[in-house]
């Protein structure tokens, strides 16, 4: 599914209407009929339903929904908050269709008390007041009606967006409807993936309204999310039956310090479990006895240490000492001795994943990234705090601009950026973005990032396309956490459990998709 801003959605709509010839009236009919069918599955026959409509096209969707629900025999009334005079275009045509079908809408302008009573007394409220067209703070009486909806005990289903929630990134939100479910039309709106707005949406139900792919291509809205597991099947790691260990790649993971020998070893174990042919842990020599017993499958390359961390002089030795097809640097490095990771980026033209403390070293001289000439990809995996250091912004600013900041950063420095969070955003150096839908709050725990780093490195060695490798690592990391959370509470998820169960999850995924008859949607 595509992810769009409100402005991009308008461009997509315009293209579908003007260039493809799908009329706005038809799209609204599609939106309303598809939504009402999806909504009906949540309704009980005796529910009192209030469809609350505005005067724009979101309201128009509401007129169609009210007609379908009434025709299906539900006790559904249409409460229109906008004055009749302000309703135009396709929305007005659909209001007329509703009325000509023998139904009567109630208008807040002329019957405010009855409208408020209908809303207060409803079991289910369908919020079709405002969608992508909202600007600024909610105006009266929408603000008061939104508050009334939020106070009610009814189930609240929003159409496209909860009214009042802006669709543009980093727009302020003062008040808005808090929905239990949001029936999102055609494409996912950007803000549904941003922390400040996500809670307004409730469960998001995608609703197809028949807009052709070409309309998205024309709007250059190149951001996607996978909402079903079947999409993953085509992209799962695959092993040739005749494979030998040399073909799955040699991985080197550089990290660890006296107090954090576990981090580098968790990354190394994840790398082994995710299929790397040979994995070497490059560690400070005085941590060898602590690190080595943690993983039998790894090889070890100890380098000079100082105060329990890599000595500054060790960094110059790394490019020659490491014989690998891909490298990750960062897990558990520590911050007492300054790390110098630029020789790695400069001299090793193999895929490199930069994580954790190494990101902070990178931040001290980011401009160097622009002048280094490499053909192999650089992958940065910051959490919002690390991204704040990389950009010089506050964490709040990072979170409010996750999409645009990621795109700008990845393009400026020519890197793949994995901005972690509830919905991790992966951005390619060309600005294309993928949003991950798997994972849960159990991942908010030390070590899970180290495991992800190891998985990304292993996949980089097995996939041709770095974007696919990075996305699949993030996707399966989250999916394994979801698998674990189905068996024990989220709070008990251990980072290493993700490595241990990864194979089971991939296996289950293959089985599930096979059982579903291999109906793979190729539009991903």
Q: Kindly list the residues in this chain that would bind ligand NPW in the complex (CB under 6 A).
A: 13, 17, 24, 27-28, 31, 54-61, 82, 130-139, 142, 159-160, 185, 209
* Residue nearer to ligand NPW on the CB measure, 107 or 142: 142
The answer to whether 190 touches 166, Cβ cutoff 8 Å, is no
- CA distance linking residue 494 with residue 451, whole number of Å: 10
* Residue nearer to ligand NPW on the CB measure, 196 or 414: 196
Question: Is 142 marked within a binding site?
Answer: yes
Question: Is 113 marked within a binding site?
Answer: no
Helices (H), 241-306: 261-273, 288-291
The answer to whether 91 touches 56, Cβ cutoff 8 Å, is yes
The encoded tokens of residue 348 equal 């090793």
* Residue nearer to ligand NPW on the CB measure, 134 or 356: 134
Question: Is 61 marked within a binding site?
Answer: yes
- Residue 170 backbone zone (phi > 0: left; psi -120 to 50: alpha; other: beta): left
Shortest Cβ distance from residue 199 to K ion (Å)?
Answer: 16
Shortest Cβ distance from residue 112 to K ion (Å)?
Answer: 20
The answer to whether 185 touches 24, Cβ cutoff 8 Å, is no
Distance of CA 259 to the CA centre of its chain: 33
Q: At what angle do helices 384-391 and 402-413 cross, to 10 degrees?
A: 50
Residue 54 binds: one of ligand NPW, K ion, none (C-beta under 5 to 8 A by kind): ligand NPW
Pairing of strands 433-435, 250-254: unpaired
Shortest Cβ distance from residue 61 to K ion (Å)?
Answer: 8
- CA distance linking residue 291 with residue 195, whole number of Å: 37
Residue 249 binds: one of ligand NPW, K ion, none (C-beta under 5 to 8 A by kind): none
* Residue nearer to ligand NPW on the CB measure, 27 or 426: 27
Site for K ion in 251-310 (CB under 5 A): none
Query: Considering only residues 61, 127, 386, 423, which one is a binding residue for K ion as defined by CB under 5 A?
Result: 127
The encoded tokens of residue 392 equal 């010089």
Question: Is 275 marked within a binding site?
Answer: no
* Residue nearer to ligand NPW on the CB measure, 7 or 123: 7
Residue 127 binds: one of K ion, ligand NPW, none (C-beta under 5 to 8 A by kind): K ion
Helices (H), 401-444: 402-413
Residue 345 binds: one of ligand NPW, K ion, none (C-beta under 5 to 8 A by kind): none
| Nearest CA-CA partner of 436 in 427, 424, 448 | 424
* Residue nearer to ligand NPW on the CB measure, 166 or 237: 166
158 binds K ion (CB under 5 A): yes
Integer CA distances (angstroms), 505 to 32, 205, 274, 456, 508, in order: 38, 25, 12, 16, 5
The answer to whether 225 touches 437, Cβ cutoff 8 Å, is yes
Size of the site for K ion (CB under 5 A): 4
* Residue nearer to ligand NPW on the CB measure, 70 or 209: 209
* Count, residues in the chain: 524
458-460-463-468 Cα dihedral, nearest 10 degrees: 110
Question: Is 357 marked within a binding site?
Answer: no
Question: Is 423 marked within a binding site?
Answer: yes
The encoded tokens of residue 211 equal 């807009």
- CA distance linking residue 398 with residue 123, whole number of Å: 39
Question: Is 136 marked within a binding site?
Answer: yes
Question: Is 24 marked within a binding site?
Answer: no
Question: Is 263 marked within a binding site?
Answer: yes
Query: Considering only residues 57, 132, 163, 438, which one is a binding residue for K ion as defined by CB under 5 A?
Result: 163
* Residue nearer to K ion on the CB measure, 130 or 254: 130
Residue 158 binds: one of ligand NPW, K ion, none (C-beta under 5 to 8 A by kind): K ion
Site for K ion in 439-468 (CB under 5 A): none
Nearest residue (beta carbon) to K ion: 163
* Residue nearer to ligand NPW on the CB measure, 209 or 328: 209
Question: Is 137 marked within a binding site?
Answer: yes
* Residue nearer to ligand NPW on the CB measure, 55 or 439: 55
Residue 353 binds: one of ligand NPW, K ion, none (C-beta under 5 to 8 A by kind): none
Q: Is the peptide bond before 438 cis (omega within 30 degrees of 0)?
A: no
Shortest Cβ distance from residue 133 to ligand NPW (Å)?
Answer: 2
Which stretch in 125-133, 360-368, 388-396, 437-445 sits in contact with K ion by CB under 5 A? 125-133
Element housing 63 (H / E): helix 57-71
Question: Is 430 marked within a binding site?
Answer: no
Question: Is 332 marked within a binding site?
Answer: yes
Task: 419-423: list long-range contacts, CB under 8 Å, 24+ apart.
Answer: 419/382, 419/384, 419/387, 420/381, 420/382, 420/383, 420/384, 420/449, 420/452, 421/195, 421/383, 421/384, 422/195, 422/198, 423/193, 423/198, 423/225
Residue ranges of the binding site for AMP: 420-424, 449
Residue ranges of the binding site for (6S)-NADPHX: 57-61, 131-137, 142, 160, 263, 332, 383, 450
User: Which residues in this chain contact K ion in the complex, by CB under 5 A?
Assistant: 127, 158-159, 163
Residue ranges of the binding site for K(+): 58, 127, 163
């Amino acid at each position: 599914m595509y992810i769009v801003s409100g402005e991009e959605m308008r461009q997509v709509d315009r293209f579908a209407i003007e260039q493809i010839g799908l009329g706005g009236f038809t799209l609204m009919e599609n939106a309303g009929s598809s939504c009402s069918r999806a909504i009906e599955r949540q309704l009980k026959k005796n529910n009192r339903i209030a469809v609350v409509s505005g005067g724009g096209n979101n309201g128009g969707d509401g007129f169609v929904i009210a007609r379908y629900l009434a025709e299906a025999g539900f006790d559904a009334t249409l409460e229109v908050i906008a004055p009749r005079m302000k309703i135009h275009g396709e929305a007005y045509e659909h209001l007329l269709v509703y009325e000509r079908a023998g139904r009567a809408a109630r208008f807040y302008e002329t019957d405010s008390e009855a409208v408020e009573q209908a809303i207060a007394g409803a079991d289910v409220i369908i919020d079709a007041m405002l969608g992508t067209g909202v600007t600024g703070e909610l105006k009266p009486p929408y603000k008061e009606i939104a508050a009334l909806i939020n106070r009610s005990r009814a189930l609240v289903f929003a159409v496209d967006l909860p009214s009042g929630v802006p669709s543009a990134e980093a727009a302020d939100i003062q008040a808005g409807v808090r929905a239990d479910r949001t029936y999102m039309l055609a494409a996912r709106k950007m803000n549904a993936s941003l922390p400040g707005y996500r809670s307004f949406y409730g469960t998001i139900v995608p609703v197809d309204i028949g807009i052709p792919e070409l309309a998205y291509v024309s709007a250059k809205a190149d951001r996607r999310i996978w909402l079903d597991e079947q999409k993953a099947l085509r992209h799962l790691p695959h092993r040739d039956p005749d494979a030998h260990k040399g073909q799955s790649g040699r991985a080197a993971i550089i990290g660890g310090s006296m107090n954090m020998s576990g981090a580098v070893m968790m990354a190394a174990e994840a790398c082994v479990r995710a299929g790397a042919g040979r994995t070497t842990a490059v560690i400070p020599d005085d941590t060898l006895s602590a690190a080595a017993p943690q993983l039998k499958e790894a090889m070890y390359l100890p380098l000079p240490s100082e105060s329990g961390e890599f000595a500054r002089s060790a960094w110059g030795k790394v490019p020659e000492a490491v014989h690998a097809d891909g490298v990750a640097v960062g897990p558990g490095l520590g911050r007492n001795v300054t790390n110098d990771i630029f020789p790695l980026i400069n001299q090793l033209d193999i895929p490199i994943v930069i994580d954790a403390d190494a990101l902070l070293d990178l931040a001290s001289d980011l401009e160097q990234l622009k002048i280094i000439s490499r053909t192999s990809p650089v992958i940065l995996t910051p959490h919002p705090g690390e991204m704040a250091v990389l950009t010089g912004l506050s964490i709040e600013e990072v979170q409010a601009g996750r999409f645009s900041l990621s795109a700008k950063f990845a393009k400026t420095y020519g890197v793949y950026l994995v901005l972690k969070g509830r919905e991790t955003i992966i951005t390619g150096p060309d600005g294309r973005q993928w949003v991950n839908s798997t994972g849960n709050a159990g991942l908010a725990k030390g070590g899970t990032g180290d495991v992800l780093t190891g998985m990304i490195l292993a996949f980089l060695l097995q996939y041709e396309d770095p974007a696919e490798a990075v996305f699949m690592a993030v996707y399966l990391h989250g999916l394994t956490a979801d698998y674990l959370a189905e068996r024990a509470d989220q709070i008990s998820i251990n980072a290493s459990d993700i490595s241990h169960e990864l194979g089971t999850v991939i296996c289950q995924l293959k089985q599930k998709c096979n059982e579903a008859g291999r109906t793979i949607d190729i539009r991903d």
